[in-house]
Each structure stands twice: as C-alpha cells, then as structure tokens.
Amino acid sequence: MKLNVIKTRSLWWSISTALITVGIIAMVISFIQLGAPLRLGLDFVGGTRLQLERDCTQPGNCDQPIDLAMVRDVMTAQGLGNSSIQILGEEKQALTIRTKTLDVEERTQLQTALTERLGVFDPKSTQIDTVGPTLGRQLFISGLIALFMAFVGIFVYLTFRFEFDYGLFAFVALFHDVLIAIGLFSILGLVLGVEVDTLFVVALLTIIGFSVNDTVVIYDRVREVIKLKPGQHINQIVEDAVNQTLTRSINTTLTTLLPLLAILLFGGETLKFFALALIIGFTAGSYSSIFIASTLLAWWRERTGKAQSVVDVPVKPEKEGNSVIEAEFSDEV
C-alpha cells in the first residue's frame, strides 16, 4: 500500500495544529494557576516532599480512605496551609505532600501530627526528599540551556549535511515534537497533578535525538531520489522517499515503544512518567518525520520555484570517424 502524504498534507498539518493548540492553552492555564507552563517538581522549585502510606497490617488502620480535608486541616495547623497535597492509589491509603523546605524537627512534628489524625504509616514506604530553591533554579536553567544547545547543534549539522531548507524543516519537526510532549504533560499536570523533574528534561533530549534520526533517513532518501530522477517533481520525489523508508520508520518506532510500554506498566513510580514522556515523544517524532518534515520540504520547494531539480548531464563528443560516416549517410539519403 502506497501512502499519499502530499495529497493529504492538510489533514496532517491540521492534526498537529490542533494538538499543539490544546497544549499551548493548557500551558497558559497552568502558567496562570501555578506560575509556570508545567507543574514543576521538587527538582526545579525546591522544598520538601513527603510520601506516606498507611500501614494496613494494623487492625482498623485502613478501614477508611484518607480524607483530603483532614490532611489539609493538619497542614494548616502546622502553618503549612499552602502546601500541595495529593492522595495516591485506588484505595486512597497513601498521600504525597509538597511543601516548603523543612528541617528534621519540623518534618518529625508534621509526621507525628498526621499519624495522630490519620493512623499509623508504614516506615518502609515513607519517602522524604529535600531540595534547596537555589539548586532547583540551577537545575531548571541548566535544562533549558541543554535543550537550546541541542536544537542549535542539530540545526547547524543538518544545514551543512544537506541544505538550509532541510535543516530548517527538521528543526520545525523537532520543535513540533517537543511542544506536543510539553503540552500533554501540561494537561496531565492540570488534571492529574503530574509534576516534571530532571528526568523530563532527559526525556526531551532523547526525543530530539530519536526524531532527528528518523528525519535524516527520509531526507537522505529524498536527496538520493533527486539524483536518480533529477527532472521529477518534488512532490513525487518526497512521496517515493517516504514510502521507501516507511517500513523502516514504523519498525524502528514499534521496537522502541515496546520496552517503554513495559516500563510504563510494570516499572517503578520513578520511571513511569519518564517512560510516558518518551512514548509520547517517539510517537510524535515518527509522525512528524513522515507527515510534517517531508511535506513541508515539498511545499517550500514548490513555493520557491525549486519543485524540479535539473542536473546538467554532460554530452560526450562523438568520434570524428563516426561523425563523418553519419554525415555522408545523411547526404546520400
């Protein structure tokens, strides 16, 4: 089956535009509510995070789910009313609290107050993380610099490796993938309270590398087809290149997504959202390489009058003896 990417490019562009628009709206709402386009985790903003889980081996300790209002009352009584509280699990027997930086005495006092109101917590499941605000700010800035340098480096490489328009639209495809990943996580942050940490930045850098690899394969085939068929229209060249590399792109994406799905379903809490970010980004990267980067290149070359690349083929001079014989034959005829 041959994929007609050029005839249906308006559809692909509309899908991408809709996804990006929804993501941008979510980022704006998040910025208004939280002061950032994403719900930033402890790594970036600093503070103390406590994850507590009831000890259900104690008789009657888990008869009722944790009451969010009761937790909020305890936090308010401790002078921590602005803290972020999230109830975890289907049975709602665990919770995560993110608050300002607490010292050991303050953490102990808070845990004691929560135990008195909510019941005994399992010490084996208790997790406490503390990050200073200065370090969090440095990590955030370092992550942005890393993303910026990755974009610039890839754009410069592709410009020299191919041509300027190849590099430009590969850059657009990469930006498309990153925007979709950030937009969906912004939605998850608003709906489910999902926070992003330094692993999310690592995921974005990995997404960029995967996406540009797929795009380079298609662009390299476009260049080969242009050399083989120099007079052919760019639309046909792009469609041939996409269809010739389509099986490879799909197989690469599927074999990459399988282990990520395993991590998402059976991995720990720490890697769950990291795997989800990669799944979203890799899917968007494969989509953008096939439907966005290739069709934008064809559209641009049509607009700039480069729809057909003509390569001058030198004509070899004929031998003198043959020319004389052909001339005599023409005269006789």
Per-residue pLDDT of the chain (333 residues; tens, 9 = 90+): 577 888 888 999 999 999 999 999 999 999 998 888 888 877 777 788 888 888 888 888 888 888 888 888 888 888 877 677 888 877 788 888 888 778 888 888 888 888 888 888 888 888 888 777 666 677 778 878 888 888 888 888 888 888 888 888 988 999 999 999 999 999 998 888 888 888 888 899 889 888 888 888 888 888 888 888 877 888 888 888 888 888 888 888 899 899 999 988 887 667 888 899 999 999 999 999 889 988 998 898 888 877 665 544 444 444 444 444 344 434 443
Q: What pLDDT, on a 0 to 100 scale, did the predictor assign at position 313?
A: 42
How many Cβ atoms are within 10 Å of 298's Cβ, its own excluded? Answer: 24
> Whose CA is closest to 13, among 301, 291, 302?
291
Burial 208-227 (b: 16+ CB within 10 A, else e): bebbbebbbbbbebbbebbe
Q: What pLDDT, on a 0 to 100 scale, did the predictor assign at position 333?
A: 38
Q: What pLDDT, on a 0 to 100 scale, did the predictor assign at position 1?
A: 58
Q: What pLDDT, on a 0 to 100 scale, did the predictor assign at position 133?
A: 63
Tokens of 282: 């890799």
> Whose CA is closest to 215, among 172, 259, 262, 266?
172
> What CA–CA distance (Å, rounded) separates 26 from 267?
28
Count the alpha carbons within 13 Å of 262 in the hemisphere toward its beta carbon: 5
> What CA–CA distance (Å, rounded) separates 140 from 127?
23
Residue 327: in which H helix or E strand, if any?
A: helix 320-332
- The single-letter DSSP state of residue 124 is G
Contact between 205 and 147 (Cβ < 8 Å)? yes
- 3-state SS class at 192: helix
Contact between 71 and 95 (Cβ < 8 Å)? yes
- The single-letter DSSP state of residue 36 is S
> What CA–CA distance (Å, rounded) separates 285 from 25?
21
